[in-house]
Structure 1
Amino acid sequence: MHCRPSSLPVRAFGILLAGALAGSALTACSPVVDVTAAKDAANPACAPMMVALPDSIGDAGLRKTNSQATAAWGDPSVVVLRCGVNVPGPTTDRCVSVNGIDWVIKEGDPVYTLTTFGREPATEILLDPEKIPSATVLADLSGAAGKIPATRNCVGQQELQNLPGSTQ
């Protein structure tokens, strides 16, 4: 049997999981996942993280991708990772810390985008929380994400209120 790359464009989040389902649902082998590389994917700081990625997240196994500093898990893909995305600046978006790694969460329908905060280059994860729990993904990826050193942390509302000069 000849396996062809599936089409899994990352540009349109809404197409992410649908493309993976359509591209690989009827094949007997796991095709290479087509993931668009991030703008700063060639940043050498991505390399230590990429070699530390887990072989699986939950029950989803790691698959081959066709772009530098990218990864995908599951067949069809349920998690897609890209290193070298734009570093998030100050934000009012929800930020969570899992095993010492801060993540900014943007909830989409159905795909969530989780981006490391305070690490350069930043890493982005796309997932559908109906298919795999975000807590599982972040716990399983925290060791690898920690290979990129943190330069700052998320600051919550409580910390802002305690800053000198803040009005309480």
Structure 2
Amino acid sequence: MNLSISLTVNGVRRNIELEDPRVTLLDLLRERLHLTGTKKGCDRGQCGACTVLVDGRRINSCLALAVSHDGAEVLTIEGITGGDELHPVQAAFIAHDGFQCGFCTPGQIMSAIGLIQEGQAGDDPERIREAMSGNLCRCGAYSGITDALLDVQKNLVEADQRRSA
């Protein structure tokens, strides 16, 4: 029995035939749509390497059945830039050494973008660490990740203040 679903992935509408209703969003992205930036780490929702934004919210795509997100808008690491310019979170990760081996980086960046969009980042390092605790880094780049988010958040606040002035 085939199921048809429709997703908007990185701004592009995709109509997809699923042969198996148990296909996860992660496997659909990686194996069917060839968007391999989203990583399969633990495959149990514990590491955050598979984090994507669905309708603007952070989710572990390894735990999400693709069929349950029919009609959703999905944003992956491949869809966050507009051309050759890095997303501000990507640039901040580079500037603050927010990665080492890079395996967890796509999930970390997607989680950071979601955190900022949710208005949960703030300027408190402990709050950021807590909100990002679902994303594990085996290399221990947590300090750089936190500094990167603090920098992006500060720049957003300053930009808002300039617009208001």
Greater strand proportion: 1
* Both proteins in one fold, TM over 0.5: no
Greater helix proportion: 2
Taking structure 1 as the reference length, the TM-score comes to 0.34
